[in-house]
């Protein structure tokens, strides 16, 4: 972020992070044991998660300005904290319901696609404001 912050908007960085995360989850479908694809998954997912953490703190400032940013970030972090808490049990429940590992990962991919689409819709006003 330090190297790109002058040239890349935080909203674009977030979309890139979502894309990387989706690529990592798709790679997860083809993993069967330890190997190069597993290492690639770990590296790409970790990088995407790190970049997404940065974008989660900087995109709201880009969208709404700096006034009241702390309260806004606190409010927005609730969804992340809840989903992080529920995710392991949710994934286990999918497996307990009889889904295969790949089917459960496909559900994760669908959720990630929904999150990426929601993020894209949320940052659309920035793109319109920059071109107007």
Q: Which sequence spans correspond to the domains of the chain?
A: 10-131
Mean pLDDT of 89-112: 91
Nearest one of 61, 67, 69 to 126, comparing CA atoms: 61
Residue 117, Cβ density class (10 Å: 0-12 exposed, 13-18 middle, ≥19 buried): exposed
Confidence of residue 110 (pLDDT cuts 50, 70, 90): very high
pLDDT in tens, 30-70: 888 788 888 888 999 999 988 888 888 888 888 777 888 88
pTM of the model: 0.73
């Amino acid at each position: 972020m330090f190297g790109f912050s002058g040239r890349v908007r935080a909203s674009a960085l977030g979309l890139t992070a979502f894309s990387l995360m989706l690529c990592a989850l798709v790679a997860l479908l083809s993993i069967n044991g330890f190997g190069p694809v597993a290492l690639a998954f770990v590296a790409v997912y970790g990088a995407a998660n790190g970049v997404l953490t940065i974008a989660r703190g900087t995109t709201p400032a880009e969208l709404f300005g700096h006034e009241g940013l702390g309260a806004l970030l606190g409010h927005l972090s609730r969804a992340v904290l809840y989903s992080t808490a529920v995710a392991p049990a949710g994934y286990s429940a999918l497996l307990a319901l009889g889904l295969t590992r790949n089917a459960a990962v496909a559900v994760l991919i669908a959720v990630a696609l929904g999150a990426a689409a929601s993020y894209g819709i949320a940052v659309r006003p920035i793109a319109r404001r920059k071109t107007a």
